[in-house]
Amino acid sequence: MLDQSEVAFNELRHLVSERAIKGETMLLNMGPQHPSTHGVLRLLLEMDGEIVVNCFPDIGFLHTGIEKNMEAKTYEKAAVMTDRLDYLNNLGNNLVYCMAIEKLAELDVPPRAQAMRVILTELQRISSHLVWLGTHTLDLAAISVFWYTFRERELILDIFEMVSGQRMMTTYFRPGGLWRDVPVEFEEAVRQFIDIFPQRILEYEAMLSENPIFIERTRNIGILNSKDAVNWGVTGPMLRATGVPHDLRKIDPYMGYEQYEFVVPTHTDGDTYARYLVRMEEMRQSLRIVQQALEKLPYGPVRSNNRKFVPPPRSELSTSMEAVIHHFKLWTDGFDMPEGSVYVAAESPRGVLGVYLESDGSPKPYRVYWRTPSFDNLQVLPTLAKGHLVADLVALMGSTDFVLGDIDR
């Protein structure tokens, strides 16, 4: 087997500059195991001293073959795998997958399920941003923020556990609504969280926003202008920090987002500090949405009544023959979907998360493609990293907020 360094060089001979081949610049491997790469990402840096001249991301160290594996399972079983894609946004992945199935099958979702989906997705967004803040500042050596954000995250995970039994990989959203209704303590727990959290965001901002070291390390690092961002397919807080107010919750509202009043934060600088401000404000706005959705939470069923797709409750099985037939069909074969293809997109904490679902009429998906935001957000990294020091590259990677499960699928 070739030596690792020779492999790297041969692969990239057509990409590195002349100076690297001559030996003036150094090729440094920021390998798959590194404390700051937020997962298994390999970066090949071409460096002139401490300054990064170019960087070549090498992904695929977490490629799980989820898309092919989902083709081998029925729709309901494949929903379990969707949690594990972007593993910080489990309910968001579930949501997009269920939205795609519901669009293709023209399945209705009752209003209580929609409002509950909004509440849980926004709580997931807050928890994802908390992990981002904790790990980003951990890389910048502001380690105390890590302890605080994970403490808040535990409150949200307790809510998820109360609702579905699992902290992270809940698979709580199913085609047609939710798996089952929330327990009585849910409302009280969410209200407690809404009461505590605004003060905590103020604490984080007090520690970081005016901190001269933080500003020094994040201002003017990785400036992205809006035209480049759109050309590179960047979405999410990275795009909003360049000034483009692109948020699918406002533009193309789904799950009843048009009922809730919230602001889409933008900033014009496009650097790391701007992305930090955008995400902090997004946490506040998410909390606002949770509050409004909780006030307006309607009563009613939490899953559609369409027995072709949704299994009947067990009590019906003793009285109705159709219920038994539907139950049998759904549990052995899975539900049959109409033929065709749809593309559905929603807003994940990282950007536009979309599912392209193609069905050929069988109970298993024919092709599921996940348009993940971190794929494009990482692709723009080499252009942003040119001319910065390695320490700045670390800050930049943190602010890009990619998740390798999203990229490699």
Partner 1 sequence: MGIEQKAGDLGAVTIRLEQAVNWARTYAMWPMLFGLACCAIEMMAGQAAKYDMSRFGMELMRATPRQADLMIISGRVTRKMAPVLRLLYDQMPSPKWVLSMGDCASCGGIFNNYAIVQGIDEIMPVDVYVAGCPPRPEALVHGILTLHEKVRGENLKTWA
Partner 2 sequence: MEMVQDMNNELGSPVSTLVERFGADVQEFRGQTTLVISPENIFDACQVLRDEFSYDFLEVETAVDYWPQQDPRFHVVYQLYSIEKHLRIGLRVPLSGHSPSLPTLEGLYANANWREREIWDMFGIRFEGHSDPRRILMPHDWQGHPLRKDYPLGYEEVQFSFNAEEIDRNKPYAEE
Strands of the 340-348 sheet, one edge to the other: 340-348, 351-359, 367-371
> How far is the C-alpha of 175 from the C-alpha of 357, rounded, in Å?
14
Q: Scanning residues 23 to 52, which ones bind partner 1 (CB under 8 A)? A: 31-35, 39-40
| Contact region with partner 2 (CB under 8 A), list: 130-138, 163-171, 367-375, 389-397 | 367-375
Of residues 177 and 373, the one with the C-beta less far from partner 1: 373
Nearest Cα residue to 301 out of 42, 136, 115: 115
CA distances from 115 to 178, 283, 294, 301, 399 (A): 11, 18, 8, 12, 30
**Strand, helix or coil for residue 175:** coil
- Using the rule CB under 8 A, which residue among 16, 91, 201, 244 binds partner 2? 244
> How far is the C-alpha of 304 from the C-alpha of 321, rounded, in Å?
19
Q: What does 144 interact with, of partner 1, partner 2, none (CB < 5 to 8 A by kind)?
A: none
Of residues 64 and 231, the one with the C-beta less far from partner 1: 64
Of residues 292 and 374, the one with the C-beta less far from partner 2: 374
- Using the rule CB under 8 A, which residue among 106, 188, 210, 261 binds partner 2? 106
Is residue 179 a contact residue for partner 1 (CB under 8 A)?
no
Is residue 60 a contact residue for partner 2 (CB under 8 A)?
yes
Is residue 146 a contact residue for partner 1 (CB under 8 A)?
yes
Contacts 24+ apart (CB under 8 A), 64-69: 64/405, 64/408, 64/409, 65/409, 66/370, 66/409, 67/367, 67/368, 67/369, 67/370, 67/409
Decide: 295 and 260 in contact? Cβ < 8 Å: no
Is residue 69 a contact residue for partner 1 (CB under 8 A)?
yes
- Using the rule CB under 8 A, which residue among 6, 154, 252, 360 binds partner 1? 154
Looking at residue 361, its amino acid is G
The residue count of the chain comes to: 409
Rg of the chain, C-alpha, whole Å: 23
Is residue 345 a contact residue for partner 2 (CB under 8 A)?
yes
Q: What does 146 interact with, of partner 2, partner 1, none (CB < 5 to 8 A by kind)?
A: partner 1
| Contact region with partner 2 (CB under 8 A), list: 46-54, 117-125, 227-235, 309-317 | 227-235
How many other C-beta atoms are found inside a 10 Å radius of the C-beta of residue 280?
17
Q: What does 147 interact with, of partner 2, partner 1, none (CB < 5 to 8 A by kind)?
A: partner 1
How many residues form the binding site for partner 2 (CB under 8 A)?
43
| Contact region with partner 1 (CB under 8 A), list: 14-22, 150-158, 175-183, 349-357 | 150-158
Is residue 60 a contact residue for partner 1 (CB under 8 A)?
yes
CA distances from 1 to 7, 10, 28 (A): 9, 14, 21
Nearest Cα residue to 403 out of 159, 151, 132: 132
| Contact region with partner 1 (CB under 8 A), list: 60-68, 187-195, 225-233, 380-388 | 60-68
- Using the rule CB under 8 A, which residue among 12, 51, 62, 264 binds partner 1? 62
Nearest Cα residue to 264 out of 292, 236, 291: 236
Decide: 331 and 342 in contact? Cβ < 8 Å: no
Q: DSSP character for 183?
A: P
Q: What does 251 interact with, of partner 1, partner 2, none (CB < 5 to 8 A by kind)?
A: partner 2
Looking at residue 125, its amino acid is R
Of residues 158 and 360, the one with the C-beta less far from partner 2: 360
> How far is the C-alpha of 234 from the C-alpha of 253, rounded, in Å?
20
- E strand residue ranges, 180-324: none
- Token code pair at residue 205: 């901002």
Q: What does 136 interact with, of partner 1, partner 2, none (CB < 5 to 8 A by kind)?
A: none
How many other C-beta atoms are found inside a 10 Å radius of the C-beta of residue 3?
8
Interface residues toward partner 2, by CB under 8 A:
7, 11, 14-15, 59-60, 63, 65, 67-69, 72, 103-104, 106, 228, 230-233, 244, 246, 251-252, 340-343, 345, 352, 354, 356, 358, 366-367, 369, 371, 375-376, 379-380, 408-409
Interface residues toward partner 1, by CB under 8 A:
31-35, 39-40, 60-66, 68-69, 80-81, 84, 87-88, 131, 134-135, 146-147, 150-151, 153-154, 157, 167-169, 404-405, 408
